[in-house]
């Protein structure tokens, strides 16, 4: 979108320069020149058209592009196929373009981030909670004491979705906390 906007901006500016350099006068019989209303109208029309094209191009450059979150997320979730170099999803096991079998790439595990944390009554309850969280497909994160959580997630919204999944699926009730390196609520992260 930005490329098209830049092209339109350049075309509009060139059109404006052309329009403003148009001669709108005609020679008279007495050796002078006089403005012609028809030529003045033509210059006005060309000026308006060039201005509109330049303005549309400027708006496309300023508002368009890959800055949208959806485009960034789509770009983050894809990788090139090792056989044909076409774009495929990160977790793909078969290329949709060439049909080649490819190895899925697991998303890198975050060390710090938002966690949907659940407190357990005893060690047996903690083990059942870990199995329930893993059964929903969410990543399990250990915490100090009998607590266990799902995460960590990059955004708080992802942690809220995990909280909803834990509440609606295995009926685990939790709170959202941020996993960091200094609070003391988490065991040390192994390298």
Residue whose tokens read 């076409």: 86
Q: Where are the domains of the chain?
A: 2-63, 71-106, 113-179
Domain 113-179, CATH number (from 3.30.70.790, 2.70.70.10, 2.60.260.20, 3.90.105.10): 3.30.70.790
Is pTM beyond 0.85 here? no
The tens place of each residue's pLDDT in the chain, 191 residues long, gives 788 889 999 999 999 999 999 998 998 888 888 989 999 999 999 999 999 999 999 998 888 765 555 555 555 678 888 888 888 887 778 888 898 888 876 555 556 677 878 888 888 888 888 888 888 888 888 777 778 888 777 788 888 888 888 888 777 777 777 666 555 555 544 43
Residue whose tokens read 């909280």: 163
């Amino acid at each position: 979108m930005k490329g098209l906007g830049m092209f339109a901006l350049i075309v509009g500016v060139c059109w404006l320069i052309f329009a403003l350099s148009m001669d709108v006068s005609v020679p008279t019989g007495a050796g002078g020149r006089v403005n012609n209303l028809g030529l003045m109208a033509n210059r006005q029309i060309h000026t308006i058209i060039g201005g509109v094209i330049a303005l549309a191009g400027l708006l496309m450059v300023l508002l368009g592009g890959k800055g949208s979150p959806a485009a960034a997320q789509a770009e983050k979730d894809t990788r090139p196929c090792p056989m044909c170099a076409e774009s495929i999803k990160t977790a793909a096991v078969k290329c949709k373009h060439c049909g080649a079998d490819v190895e899925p790439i697991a998303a890198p595990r975050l060390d710090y981030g938002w966690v949907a944390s659940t407190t357990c009554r005893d060690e047996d309850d903690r083990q059942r909670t870990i199995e329930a969280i893993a059964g929903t497909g969410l990543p399990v994160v250990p915490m100090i004491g009998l607590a266990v959580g799902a995460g960590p997630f990059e955004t708080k919204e992802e942690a809220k979705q995990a909280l909803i999944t834990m509440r609606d699926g295995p009926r685990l009730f939790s709170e959202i906390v941020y996993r960091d390196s200094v609070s003391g609520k988490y065991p040390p992260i192994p390298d």
